[in-house]
Amino acid sequence: MRIFIKKLKFIPLVASLVITSACTSTPIASPKVVPKPAPKITKPSEIKGSIAQLATRILHHPKIKLMRGHVSGRVDTATAYHNISSASRGYSARLSSYGNAPGGYAKLDKRMLQTMLYMADVKGWSYHVTEIAGGSHSRNSRHYRGVAFDVDRINGVKVGYGKAYYREFMNICRQRGATEVLGPGSKGHDRHIHIAWK
Ligand SMILES: [Zn+2]
């Protein structure tokens, strides 16, 4: 620093004023701290957090929309939104009590929550979740065990035969461990895809 100031004496006045003022306004350079890049996520299981933490991220995620009603029009507190909200507070998710739905509660599956975040955060997809543990599905549906979710809109496009995105969404989930993946072409799945784990 001293050497630097001495050198300034030989610089024309105006220039030295500029330089000195620049120097005084800038703290002495300390070694720059380079933040370590976050480890690259390559699969859903690498997304860390408890069920409540994962659910909280889903609840507030700008790319994941959770339906606050049922496709059936029935009103209860077992909607996708209610399910994730309950899980974010550490509770089990409520099941519906109409049609085939048995009522009661289910703990949401961690792999499912990780995959939901994986699709949005790592793959960058936005989507609309219509049901998780609630709603009426086939008897013994995996929904009632908290290991399935339904999606009816992806990147702004409604799920339907020949439409964009849904096949790739299904493929990625299958590759990442979902074992029951259904969509247009399967009975009862013309307008939504169903992603479930064992
Ligand atoms: Zn389903």
| Helix%, strand%, coil% for the chain, nearest 5 | 35, 15, 50
Give the span between the Cα atoms of 12 and 5, in whole angstroms: 13
Q: Residue 29's pLDDT band (boundaries 50, 70, 90)?
A: low
- pLDDT mean over 8-32: 51
Quote the pLDDT of residue 9: 46
Q: Which CATH class is domain 44-196?
A: alpha beta
pLDDT in tens, 1-15: 444 444 444 444 444
Ligand 1 center from residue 48 Cα (angstroms): 25
pLDDT in tens, 97-132: 999 999 999 999 999 999 999 999 999 999 999 999
Ligand 1 center from residue 127 Cα (angstroms): 15
- pLDDT mean over 131-149: 98
Ligand 1 center from residue 53 Cα (angstroms): 24
Mean pLDDT score of the chain: 89
Whether residue 160 contacts residue 184, with contact meaning beta carbons closer than 8 Å, is answered with yes
Quote the pLDDT of residue 123: 96
pLDDT in tens, 50-103: 999 999 999 999 999 999 999 999 999 999 999 999 999 999 999 999 999 999
Ligand 1 center from residue 8 Cα (angstroms): 74
Q: Residue 37's pLDDT band (boundaries 50, 70, 90)?
A: confident
Ligand 1 center from residue 129 Cα (angstroms): 10
Ligand 1 center from residue 39 Cα (angstroms): 32
3 or 137, which is more confident: 137
Ligand 1 center from residue 62 Cα (angstroms): 23
- pLDDT mean over 173-182: 98
Quote the pLDDT of residue 10: 45
- Closest C-alpha to 8, from 16, 18, 28: 16
Distance of CA 84 to the CA centre of its chain: 12
- Measure Cα distances from 75 to 67, 118, 135, 140 in Å: 12, 30, 10, 22
